[in-house]
Amino acid sequence: MNWKKVFAVVRREYIERIRTKAFWIATLLIPFLFLGMLFVQVAVMRRSGGERRVVVIDRTGHLFAPLAKELARQEASGGRAPRAEPVVRESTPEQPPKGRSIHWVLEQRPAGDIEKSKEELRKEVLAKKINAYLILDPEMLAKDEVEYYSTSVSEFVTQTQLARAIDHILLREKIAARGLPPEVGNELDKRIDLRAFKVTESGTAEEKGAGIVAALIFFFLMYSTFFMYGYQVMRGVIEEKSTRIVEIVIASVRPVELMLGKIIGIGLVGLTQYFAWSLVAMNLSLPAIAATFSTTDMVPKIPLSMLAFFILFFLCGYFLYASIYTAIAAPFNTDQEAQQLAMIPMAMIISAVAIYPAVMNNPSGGIAVFFSLFPFTAPLMMFLRTSLGQVPAWQIVASVLLVTGTTVGLAWFAGRIYRVGILMYGKKPTIPEILRWVRYSPGKSPAPAREPS
């Protein structure tokens, strides 16, 4: 290996990519997109509040008034369930967030002819005069059921609040019917607040969700950059072939040096991009996020260890996938031809996302341990685990070793395909042909199935 030459390739890859407009657009735009997404989410959360006009047909004849009263009470307390603790907590005085709660406008209609009323109400719902209508029917209530009609039946907040309010008033009724004092109802309504404390070797700290948010942001960032940079490696290899520069370069640089230089160069571009993003985030996003939530509670505090693990597992995963993408690109002349095989690393990366909820649920369970050691999902999964909780050191070491070992093997494999593939023009080779290239030893002929030119 002649590192001087490798460095020349690294330098070219790095400088040429850093100079492109695409790099700067991605570098500047992605933080703003993230920020934009956050704003949209907050906006959606706000919109989930607002007025709800609900018509109630109360066939029991006595539930409407308590329901209206209960909903009004919930509204006043910020749409939350009563807490076991008094509403005030030391660090964060909890006020009903403005604009986020639902304002209920209830209207009672006479029971009358139920089918006729339903038909009228259906029209009103469709005409958007009311949001929904609710039927409180004694027979249904006996079966613990209440009917709710609306154009949208996925407004969980609305439905949950209604259900909770109805539960509440029914409970009061039952308590009253048994002749128990009404305070019993309040006692039964209380819910406990489970406060989670994350235990690590460095101490114990209350986890309010922000750490998990940060871990997930980094997780998805890593996920998308594997795609982005893996794909860039693939395109770079194909471009060298399709522009016919490769043979000129190969006359001066060994194929393995060119391959390594390319992968390192593009990897450095990735690290540069992360660095730029973190600068943007520090100066722009974090204050903006803080302002959005008007609380410091939700601003992700990113521990240094998370950053260190992020860089470590990004590099592990990047080299792994970049090797795969190199092998996939080398035999082909156009992106389209390579597309089919590019599904392989894509599926590997996506599978990590399919598994992550299971890992989040139980970060030290069997599934989590398996997929954080399985080389093709390990970089993403092990990173997620290290940021969710304590992971035994041996597992981290094993994971890194497994990924590194697999990468070395794959790089060897990719190098074999690469040195033959880059000189192959013409018809798209078949997979058996490509695999045959791997078997030829370096001193021997990398005998392709047909003449190269």
Partner 1 sequence: MDNAIELSHVSKSFGKFPAVDDLSFTVPKGIVFGLLGPNGAGKTTTIRMIMNITAPDRGEISVLGKPMDRDAQNRIGYLPEERGLYRKMKVLDHLYFLAAIKEVSRETARQRIDGWLDKMELRPWLNKKVEELSKGMQQKVQFIATIVHDPDVLILDEVFSGLDPINTALVKDYLSEFRSKGKTIVFSTHVLEQAEKLCDEICLIVRSKKILQGNLQQLKREQAEGQMRVALKASQAQVAALPGVAACQAVNGAYVISLTPGTNRRDFLRKALESYDVESFSDREPELVEIYLAAVQKAGIETRDIA
Task: Specify whether the CB–CB gap between 165 and 71 falls below 8 A.
Answer: yes
**298 is an interface residue for partner 1 by CB under 8 A:** no
**10 is an interface residue for partner 1 by CB under 8 A:** no
For the CB of residue 267, give the shortest distance to partner 1 in the complex, in Å.
19
Q: Which of 253, 263, 299, 324 binds partner 1 (CB under 8 A)?
A: 253
Positions 420 through 449 that interact with partner 1 (CB under 8 A): 423, 425, 442-449
Q: Which of 3, 9, 51, 302 binds partner 1 (CB under 8 A)?
A: 9
**16 is an interface residue for partner 1 by CB under 8 A:** yes
**69 is an interface residue for partner 1 by CB under 8 A:** no
Nearest C-alpha neighbor of 327 from the set 187, 220, 431: 431
Q: How far apart are CA 277 and CA 31, in angstroms?
A: 7
**4 is an interface residue for partner 1 by CB under 8 A:** yes
Q: Which of 105, 146, 250, 344 binds partner 1 (CB under 8 A)?
A: 250
Nearest C-alpha neighbor of 325 from the set 304, 348, 308: 348
Backbone φ and ψ of 133, nearest 5°: -135, 155
DSSP 163-217: HHHHHHHHHHHHHHHHT--THHHHHHH-B-----EEEETTEEEE--SHHHHHHHH
Token representation of residue 453: 């030119």
Q: Which is nearer to partner 1, 248 or 401 (CB)?
A: 248
Q: What angle do CA 409, 385, 347 make, to 5 degrees?
A: 50
Q: How far apart are CA 27 and CA 20, in angstroms?
A: 11
Query: Binding-site residue total for partner 1 (CB under 8 A)?
Result: 36
Q: Which is nearer to partner 1, 20 or 361 (CB)?
A: 20
- Point out which span in 39-47, 57-65, 140-148, 238-246 binds partner 1 (CB under 8 A): 238-246
For the CB of residue 91, give the shortest distance to partner 1 in the complex, in Å.
54
**178 is an interface residue for partner 1 by CB under 8 A:** no
Q: Which of 5, 109, 198, 235 binds partner 1 (CB under 8 A)?
A: 5
Residue 259: Cβ-neighbour burial (10 angstroms; 0-12, 13-18, 19+): buried
Residues at the interface with partner 1 (CB under 8 A): 2, 4-5, 8-9, 11-12, 15-16, 20, 239-240, 243-245, 247-253, 423, 425, 442-453
